[in-house]
Amino acid sequence: MTPTPNPDTIISLAKVLIAAAWADGQISEDEELSLKDLLWRLPEVHARQWEELAIYLDAPVEAAERERLVAELRAQISSADQRELALSKLDEMVNADGVVAEREQAVVAEARAALESADVGLWGSLSRLLIGRRAEATAGAPNREKYLNDFVRNRVYYRLRQRLAAEGVVWDVSDAELRRLGLAGGLLALVAGVVDGVADEERAAMVATLRDAWSLPEASAALVVEVALSGGEPLDFYRLVREFAEVTTAEERLRFLDALFGVAAADGAATFEEIEQIRLVALGLKLSHTEFIDAKMKLPRERRHG
């Protein structure tokens, strides 16, 4: 009977694949699609595991963090069978479509080298001892998975905090307010970008909304907007709405509804699609249909199409 691959080892292998793909500091859209296609061929990757992988796709993996991931992968290889199973899974993954691009070859070579360097034979105990020491040495390396819950529940807040940390900047804003800022920025971005991208006027309205509501400097509000509109994995509409509803009062949600309409109409008029998106937000924020209509009617007739 063929042994079952260790799911933890397979997930660790997938993380090393992603880290290797970031080796040149960027992953193009085509490369990302290719990599996701490879990863989705792993039957061991379920919803929660995918979130663990998506956090590494979100931003470049630097050398120290990549080294930590490789050390963790090697430390999990405890038998020759386990190593061979992981290698065969790697081969299945890359050869599934019958075409192996040069980029894929380079990425797979690094992951394969990490697996093959795990000595599980006569000197296995010594090898694992050395690997353990190496793992200790890399224990202080960056580990974005500590913030996995933030990445899943409040993507803008996660990216904003990572950006501020990377630049060594500290804002005079509590963590709770920074989280609310992230949620608000995400919802504004979803409304502004629902049709044909985001106009300059809409971006400026987003900045003004966050600046005034949180008494932020212009540059800080602009950074939140920049992060919210930065692309990558799509923002989770329903999670954003639910989380925002939990940390705001009914009065704050009503004011925010006005702000959403203001952003939607900033480029001349709120489109039907934008108004419909705002209606769904209002519904998720537990605001009544009457409150939604009242907010909509505050716009001049010529600035609403819905």
Q: What pTM does this model have?
A: 0.70
Across the range 140-149, mean pLDDT stands at: 81
Q: What is the pLDDT, as a whole number, of residue 43? A: 64
Instruction: Give the whole-angstrom CA distance, residue 91 versus residue 72.
Output: 21
pLDDT in tens, 251-279: 999 999 999 999 999 988 888 899 999 99
Query: What structural domains and CATH numbers belong to the chain?
Result: 7-144 (no CATH), 154-303 (1.10.3680)
Instruction: Give the whole-angstrom CA distance, residue 9 versus residue 104.
Output: 20
Distance of CA 161 to the CA centre of its chain: 13
Asked if 284 contacts 245 with a C-beta cutoff of 8 angstroms, the reply is yes
Write a three-state SS string for the chain.
Answer: CCCCCCHHHHHHHHHHHHHHHCCCCCCCHHHHHHHHHHHHCCCCCCHHHHHHHHHHHCCCCCHHHHHHHHHHHHHHCCCHHHHHHHHHHHHHHHHCCCCCCHHHHHHHHHHHHHHHCCCCCCCHHHHHHHHHHHHHHCCCCCCHHHHHHHHHHCHHHHHHHHHHHHHCCCCCCCHHHHHHHHHHHHHHHHHHCCCCCCCHHHHHHHHHHHHHHHCCCHHHHHHHHHHHCCCCCCCCHHHHHHHHHHCCCHHHHHHHHHHHHHHHCCCCCECHHHHHHHHHHHHHCCCCHHHHHHHHHCCCHHHECC
Q: What is the pLDDT, as a whole number, of residue 288? A: 94
pLDDT in tens, 169-218: 899 999 999 999 999 999 999 998 887 778 899 999 999 999 999 999 99
Q: From 160, 195, 192, select the one nearest 175 (Cα to Cα).
A: 160
Q: What is the pLDDT, as a whole number, of residue 156? A: 92
CA-CA distances (angstroms) from residue 96 to 20, 40, 139, 216?
20, 11, 35, 51
Across the range 89-115, mean pLDDT stands at: 69
pLDDT band at 152 (very low <50, low <70, confident <90, very high): confident
Which of 118-127, 153-162, 183-192, 274-283 has the least mean pLDDT?
A: 118-127
pLDDT band at 95 (very low <50, low <70, confident <90, very high): low
Q: How many CB atoms lie within 10 A of CB 7?
A: 14
Q: What is the mean pLDDT of the chain?
A: 81
Instruction: Give the whole-angstrom CA distance, residue 226 versus residue 163.
Output: 11
Q: What is the pLDDT, as a whole number, of residue 5? A: 60
Across the range 28-55, mean pLDDT stands at: 75
Identify which has the larger pLDDT, 232 or 300: 300
pLDDT band at 9 (very low <50, low <70, confident <90, very high): confident
pLDDT in tens, 160-169: 998 898 889 8
Owner of token pair 């709770």: 176
Bridge partners of residue 270, in order along the sequence: 304
Q: What is the pLDDT, as a whole number, of residue 232? A: 65
Instruction: Give the whole-angstrom CA distance, residue 123 versus residue 65.
Output: 27
Give percent of the chain above pLDDT 90.
34
Q: Does pLDDT of 40 surpass 80?
A: no
Q: What is the pLDDT, as a whole number, of residue 17? A: 80
